[in-house]
Amino acid sequence: MSDKPDFSQYEEALRYHAQGKPGKLEIVATKAVATQQDLSLAYSPGVAGPCLAIADDPERVYDYTTKGNRVAVISNGTAVLGLGNLGALGSKPVMEGKAVLFKRFADIDCFDLELDTEDVDEFVNCVRLMGPSFGGINLEDIKAPECFIIEQRLREAMDIPVFHDDQHGTAIICAAGIINALDLTGRDLKTCKVVVNGAGAAAIACLELIKAMGLPHDNAILCDTKGVIYQGREDGMNQWKSAHAITTDARTLEEAMVGADIFLGLSVKGAVSKEMVGSMADKPIIFAMANPDPEIRPEEIAEVRKDAIVATGRSDFPNQVNNVLGFPYIFRGALDVRATTINEEMKIAAAEALAELAREDVPDEVAAAYKGKRPIYGPDYIIPVPFDPRLISHVPTAVAKAAMDSGVARRPIIDEQAYRNELRARLDPTAGSLQLILDEVRAAPRRVVFAEGEEEKVIRAAVEFQKAGYGIPVLIGREDEIRKIMAEIGIEGSENIEIYNAREMEHREKYYNFLYERLQRNGYLRRDCARLVNRDRNIFAACMVAMGDADAVLTGVTRRFSVAFKEIQKVIDPKPDQLVIGVSVIVGRDRTVFMADTTVTTLPTAEELVTISKETAEVARRLGHEPRVALLSYSNFGNPKHYTADSIRKAVEIMDREELDFEYEGDISADVALDPELMASFYPFCRLSGPANVLVMPGLHSANIASKLMPVLGESKVIGPLLVGLSKPVQIVPIGATVSDLVNMAALAAHEASQ
């Protein structure tokens, strides 16, 4: 097929693929090759060691090579998207794209391989012989019926997972949607009548999977371009169609659709009419998945059936059946247990995990994917969206467990929760960095006050905090308003959340008295203090913690840091002999760096820089890192000399006179502090044994700017800034914080309360 695809982004897509380095992939080394020693280890003679070890024990290939995280995406281009037979080269952009998705969504490394053959024997033999290179094989865009034969033969010949995504990927996502559509309409799959239009690879795979889930054979009618596939039909038949032939009087799709509960379309645009939809059973479930245009458009269905639940293959309609929800996570789970195959049990487990996820309250990242509209489980949201960050921990875990239960796993998962944590850390480096803290919080949960309790994202965060087992969340606000918001957003799991309104609290007098005693010599009358407690949620929340009625405070969603901090200071003092500072935790792919002071001290003196260094080193230790402190400047050890670096140099002199239990150095530039080779080459006298992980900045301006640049320009995330040095645990989040940010910061506040 030589015609250009009919879509407006054609020229833009060409530019996207051609700009910079052509294509969408490159290979990046995971080990340094910067010195002669590195080279001798990466190649000859050092590489002989792992070669001999693997020859002695083939299983050790998973220890010393990328095989365990490497998948081949393979096609001959005979059925590329909806474009037909474009050949091997014509399929390459799709295969590269598939490899990108494997990496983006499941951190799986891929090679795309395009085979220039339509001969089944040649194709099978080629892939079979490449088996030792990969942990799994993803077949793609191969026309039927050859795709059935190729997959079956490769599954029989190879001891690694072989998965034709056009068949099974679509089937799994489709099955997930069906599970939830049945739930919403009160049906049982065992009693449903199902019609499937299209008898290609994807359609037959969908039908086979829902039969494996409990649909009786005789309850399904399969149709192709010649009509119903019935017992005794000879025209246009093959063994895969024949397996689904039933005894029926229906001969056309129109006749088959009468009284049907479920329609699955994997055929062509316009195959279904409004009259056909009108003849279906009450609350019909219609998955019109033809691409790029469905068998019938959702608005046409709505004209005749307001009670229908509709899914398509398009992103511009609700309930997109998108394969990216399946294949990355299915392979992730299969690779992690070194499965020998991907069986029906693993596919069903993936479908059930996806269905379950759609029924849960969604995080901010999902709302962003819906342009700010937060989807709620119902007829227009039965399938998760691709950018749901929870997919990486939910689906692979279910797949891995099914592989173990069905006996195809060679490396079982011992600790399921630890595995979930590891999965989250693959795509979110902050998850791994925080995990030790979060585990400790679960072991010693605390009462955390969420001061801005009437904000929707705060309510969601409180519920997630409770569900995660971190403690008891306390929301400050009007209970009727909070309950109203909970009802509107359909939130569940809020039964044990406490809600307090200062104006209605029975014992609020003690807060008035406490605050008046603190502020009376600052010009405040008792009625002023009562007004502050009644009207300012930050002050009320801080009073709860100061008086021992809660353990920690979280705020900041609706007010800037400086405003919230000033309110908190009216109630809570610094710890004795400590500064209150902000520490931003910058988490990258291969390192975590603690940066201070990013929020409070504008131009610290030398003495204050010493205190900041000590407090930030303690934060690093608390989060599981041995501190190596660099007091940063634009100069290195006085070159060039300038008065702006005097406080840094004086701070180091003070630290030299003390007995400190951590490494430190300064004045030093950021590049030298973070690059041990640069450090060793030009400053061999430097006292740091490795790259600095605590960066003490010379002023608030540089600290704040640097911390905000990092997540924008680099592949890193920022936790915090953490508020350090108050006598009671308080955390003030940035105004744009997400629900997950709020949960993490609340957990950190709870952790501080337990110290």
**Contacts for 79 with CB less than 8 Å, ≥ 6 apart:** 85, 141, 142, 143, 144, 147, 166
Question: For residue 34, how many other CB atoms are within 10 A of its CB?
Answer: 9
Residue 65 C-alpha from the chain's centroid: 26
CA distances from 674 to 90, 361, 460, 614, 678 (A): 45, 41, 38, 19, 9
Which two structure tokens, joined as six digits, stand for 751?
């952790």
HSE, CB side, 13 Å, CA atoms: give it for residue 373: 9
Catalytic position from the list 4, 10, 16, 43: 43
How far apart (Å, rounded) are the C-alpha atoms in residues 708 and 700?
Answer: 12
Residue among 220, 229, 231, 273 at smallest CA distance from 252? 229
Going through 560-690 in order, the beta strands assigned E by DSSP cover 581-588, 592-596, 628-632, 663-668
Do the strands 70-75 and 136-139 form a parallel or antiparallel pair, or are they unpaired? parallel
Beta-carbon-side half-sphere exposure of residue 607 (alpha carbons within 13 Å):
3
Q: How many residues does the chain have?
A: 755
User: DSSP per residue over 384-427, as a string?
Assistant: --TT-TTHHHHHHHHHHHHHHHTT--SS--S-HHHHHHHHHHHH
- The answer to whether 223 and 264 are in contact (CB under 8 A) is no
DSSP 578: -
Across the strands, what pairs with 718?
A: 586
Q: Evaluate whether 244 touches 215 at the Cβ level (below 8 Å).
A: no
Q: How does DSSP assign 316-377, residue by residue?
A: TSSSB--GGGTHHHHHHHHHHTT-S---HHHHHHHHHHHHHHHTSPP-HHHHHHTTT----S
3-class DSSP state of 311: strand
- Please report how the helices 146-157 and 120-129 are oriented relative to each other, as an axis angle in degrees rounded to 10: 30
Q: Are strands 220-224 and 227-228 parallel, antiparallel or unpaired?
A: antiparallel
Q: Is the bond into 145 cis (omega within 30 degrees of 0)?
A: yes
Element (H, E) at 649: helix 646-656
Q: Which of 67, 92, 98, 211 is catalytic?
A: 98
Nearest to 198 by CA among 288, 120, 310: 288
Is 467 tagged catalytic? no
Joined tokens for residue 368: 């962003």
Q: How many helices (H) and strands (E) does the chain have?
A: 31, 21
What are 708's two structure tokens?
A: 């905000």
Q: Is 43 a catalytic site residue? A: yes
Cα-based distances in Å from 187 to 86, 309, 448, 467: 42, 13, 42, 30
Whole-angstrom Cα distance, residue 100 to residue 107? 9
Backbone angles phi, psi at 310, to 5 degrees: -120, 135
Please tell me the number of Cα atoms within 13 Å of 487 on its side-chain side.
6
Active-site amino acid positions: 43, 98
